[in-house]
Structure 1
Amino acid sequence: MPQEKEKPAGSQSLFRGLQLLEILSNYPNGCPLAHLSELAQLNKSTVHRLLQGLQSCGYVKPAPAAGSYRLTTKMIATGQKALSSLNIIHVAAPHLEALNLETGETINFSTREDDHAIMIYKLEPTTGMLKTRAYIGQHMHLYCSAMGKLYLAFGPEEYVKQYWDSHQHVIQQLTCNTITTLSDMKKELAEIRRTRQARDQEENELGVSCIAVPVFDIHSRVPYAISVSMSTSRLALSEDSLLPLLKSTAAAISDELGYSPKAS
């Protein structure tokens, strides 16, 4: 379990119920009651009572596997309403849609949330054959995703070591290309700052690569990132034409956010 943050005064049941929703979001096919109880560090009777309340409100329902529970589509509707309230979606969507039509490839748009990148917008390919497993609301590790590396590269200098030290339980060799040492990551981040682009070179999944570019705000920070995911072989063939389109899209969104290259 991640380190628990101090909770404000309020209903214990409310916080526990929200905790169960967060855990269930990682189990799209359902999570058994016993395992859910173990993850939440609550006894089964308490978890069952909370689940009954969430079920009566329409947020949880029994999964096909006996004794398991899953989230309902009401959570999707609630999440979409929250996303639609973010002005950035209204600003970025026209530019991302134009990029999607021009490239025909999967377009991802993320922001940073604590120690993760979180997908807040995604467009499926129009001509490309590869459909990725990424989804809106997905949390991505910073160390092994192209967009995550951008947040590391353009964040506070001291944060990189802090992140590395506090995430040793997370950082692991997902493929033979995954960067798992701080020294190698620092070299990678220096190159990212120089070129203003980042890559996932089959670091999560063999055969699938990703290239990402930063979106800057009025304070020259990088609160958002854009990426294109495709097969490694296809990216190698289209990179020269693809990268300028990615960078021009990021520049257009950055401009709307008040970014001035001369001021950075």
Structure 2
Amino acid sequence: METKNPIQVADRLFLILETLAETGPVTLAELCSHLDLNKSTVHRLLCSLIYMGYVKQEGETGKYSLSFKLLALSNKLLARMDILDTVRPYLKKLSRLTGETVHFVQREHTDAVYIYKEESYQNSIRMVSKVGSRIPLYCSGVGKAIAADLDEAQIKALWENSSIQKLTPHTITDYAQFLKKIEEVRKKGYALDDEENELGVRCIAVSIPDYRNKPKYAFSISAPVVRMSDSRIQELSKIALEIKSEICSTMK
């Protein structure tokens, strides 16, 4: 494997692009200082990038900056990137390691929408959830996991725009108590649905950011309470956090 770019000019072209992405508009002299290259070399490379449409020069200041062409390329890449293609192998692995059903959700306003389900066939009890169905964020593990990555104003808006109902005797309907749960999620790294949405079912959930590092997705391990003792939750939460780390490392 090459340890050095075999085409030096390509190395320098991309170095300019990466530097401009960090600095914003700069003069030729400033860019040369950042790159530690002479002016004639940098100017020639800039001219090439301007010709290809990746860099522009401001008329009044003469400063160089990136054009939107790179953004257009990244948008085309993202349009072809299916989050499920990325997470599916890890969710299958998680279900295999735990022997439990795994769900993957996407946030839509005050709800989470199930967009993938990996059913466990190691146990006879099946989860009734279906891909495409919705679950409120305020009373679910995946919801609290996502909410923990929001700021205080966003959390308050989420609560105020939700139809707060006591779905089970365990459902949290007090905002102050909800905030305490969110703080617990931030400390532990995972959320717990302790029969808050459905009696007899406990879930462990962790959030997954989108490509902009914004809270949008989450996955959970769901099982009947008979298989979800506090000690097993501790065991499964470690596995869930390891899987989260693996997924996030592939999305960087």
Q: TM-score range by the shorter chain?
A: 0.5 to 0.7
- 1:176 equivalent to 2:169? Answer yes
- 1:153 equivalent to 2:148? Answer yes
Alignment root-mean-square deviation, CA: 1.7
Aligned mates of 2:224, 2:177 — CA distance in 1: 24
Amino acid at match of 2:236: L
Amino acid at match of 2:175: L
Give 1:210's aligned residue. Answer: 203
Aligned mates of 1:182, 1:157 — CA distance in 2: 12
Aligned mates of 1:206, 1:223 — CA distance in 2: 26
Post-superposition Cα deviations, 1:23-75, rounded to whole Å, max 9, x if no partner, equal xxxxxxxxxxxxxxxxxxxxxxxxxxxxxxxxxxxxxxxxxxxxxxxxxxxxx
CA contact (8 A) 1:217 1:254 kept: no
- Once the two structures are TM-superposed, the CA of residue 239 in structure 1 deviates from its matched residue by 2.2
CA contact (8 A) 1:107 1:229 kept: yes
Cα distance change on mapping 1:119 and 1:86 into 2, 3 Å: farther
- 1:246 equivalent to 2:240? Answer yes
Amino acid at match of 1:143: Y
CA contact (8 A) 2:110 2:161 kept: no
SS of structure 2 residue aligned to 1:109: strand
CA contact (8 A) 2:100 2:119 kept: yes
- Once the two structures are TM-superposed, the CA of residue 231 in structure 1 deviates from its matched residue by 1.1
**What runs of 5+ residues in structure 1 fail to find an aligned partner?**
1-84, 259-264
Aligned mates of 1:132, 1:215 — CA distance in 2: 22
- Once the two structures are TM-superposed, the CA of residue 219 in structure 1 deviates from its matched residue by 4.5
TM-score by length of 1: 0.61
CA contact (8 A) 1:217 1:223 kept: yes
Amino acid at match of 1:116: D
SS of structure 2 residue aligned to 1:125: coil
Amino acid at match of 1:130: I
Give 1:166's aligned residue. Answer: 161
CA contact (8 A) 1:105 1:229 kept: yes
- Once the two structures are TM-superposed, the CA of residue 184 in structure 1 deviates from its matched residue by 0.6
Give 2:181's aligned residue. Answer: 188
Give 2:98's aligned residue. Answer: 103
Aligned mates of 1:115, 1:165 — CA distance in 2: 10
- Superposed counterparts of 1:10-159, under 5 Å: 87-159=82-154
- Percent identity between the two aligned chains: 34
SS of structure 2 residue aligned to 1:185: helix
Post-superposition Cα deviations, 1:135-193, rounded to whole Å, max 9, x if no partner, equal 111111011110011122211320122222222xx211111110001111011111111
Aligned mates of 1:149, 1:172 — CA distance in 2: 16
SS of structure 2 residue aligned to 1:177: coil
SS of structure 2 residue aligned to 1:209: strand
Aligned mates of 2:108, 2:81 — CA distance in 1: 14
SS of structure 1 residue aligned to 2:87: helix
Q: How many aligned residue pairs are there?
A: 172
Aligned mates of 1:118, 1:173 — CA distance in 2: 20
- Once the two structures are TM-superposed, the CA of residue 252 in structure 1 deviates from its matched residue by 0.9
CA contact (8 A) 1:104 1:126 kept: yes
Aligned mates of 1:86, 1:107 — CA distance in 2: 22
- 1:224 equivalent to 2:181? Answer no
**What runs of 5+ residues in structure 2 fail to find an aligned partner?**
1-79
Aligned mates of 1:134, 1:174 — CA distance in 2: 16
TM-score by length of 2: 0.64
Amino acid at match of 2:156: K
Amino acid at match of 1:151: I
SS of structure 2 residue aligned to 1:223: strand
Give 1:51's aligned residue. Answer: none
